[in-house]
Amino acid sequence: MKTVTVGELASLVVGEVYGDSGAVISDGQSIDRAERQHVTFAQHAKTVRKLADCNAGCILLGRDADTSNAASWKAAAYVLVDEPMTAFLQILAVLRPARRRTAEGVSPQAEISPTASIGPETVVHPRATICEDVQIGRNCEIFPGVHIGPGCRIGDDVILRPNVVLYHDVLVGHRVTIDAGAVIGSVGYGFRLKSGRHERIPHFGTVRIEDDVEIGACATIDRAMIGETVIGAGSKIDNLVLIAHNCELGKHNLMAGQVGLAGSVTTGNYVVCAGQAGIADHARLGTGSIIGSQAGVTKAVPPGETYLGSPAIPVADVRRFFSVRTKLPDALRTIRTMAAEIEELKRQVATLAGARSDRLQPVDGPAEAGHYEPERAA
């Protein structure tokens, strides 16, 4: 692992050094775990408050950070920068450089159809399978165990990690990364009941993944029944996400782990679905909408709205519900008290009505039926 001085790091990120510029840094770490050999960063005011107990060799701070207590900090030095997290990532790229490719070209242990086309600088590892009529662009990397079905089209700078499966005729854009075990283009979950049996509906469509998409490990994206299942440019799909047939995602969507989209869901651009959210078939998520963790969406979500809960409702309604929820036990006790008082009042009314009836007597002599007068005093 590489080592650098605080002064060298400050030059790299165009920062101002305060403290020991000669302190040697060999790695990065979080504020809570940083030691003398580490660089760390404080992005927010609440993390700046932790610096009194931080023993790091270097701390990256925003230029507007509160350094009034810097004299009490234990760190060897701190560096003021425009954006601490960005600077931290720059430094980590130096301290932990990316591993270089150890393989070149096409392995003779890969199984490749003679009708497949593979671009220059593309690496195909052993035990990969590339079927007939496949086209792969330049500078791609196809890891062991990958299966690329017939007719697939793959752009430039694509990475398919171990055991990725692309079914036939899948379209993949440029600069796409698909992590281990993901399955793209499997038959969608569609059946019809015929003569008492579930009969699978054939799926004749495909999947189109646009440029700069990242798909996590063991995610599954089903092919369309007809037409395309589309993953919009720049979208990031987390591990274990299911995107069903005929879904069409807009650009720059974020889908966190275990999100499930049923068939024919459509989304606008910059939509966020947090972990384990479920979206019912044919729902529309508007541009910029946010779906909270474990939310269950059954209808359209307007652009820019945040929905939570199951069934999902606007966040403002959820906040009102939670503000009332803490008062529910008291409200229940009040309701029970009121119910008991009402029963007591009904009992008293019935008693008074009975007493009044006993005091009513028939008039002496002939009288019309049903005519009564109060009993006269003796």
Catalytic residue among 198, 245, 252, 371: 245
What radius of gyration do the chain's Cα atoms show? 35
- Return d(Cα 293, Cα 266) in angstroms, integer: 19
> Residue 371: which residues within 8 A CB-CB, separation 6 or more?
362, 363
* Vertex 159: Cα angle to 156 and 165 (nearest 5): 110
Cα dist from 264 to 195, 236, 248, 283, whole Å: 26, 19, 7, 8
245 in catalytic set: yes
Q: Are 147 and 125 within 8 A, CB to CB?
A: no
The residue type found at 89 is L
Q: Do residues 229 and 222 lie in contact, with contact meaning Cβ atoms separated by under 8 Å?
A: yes
Active site residues: 245
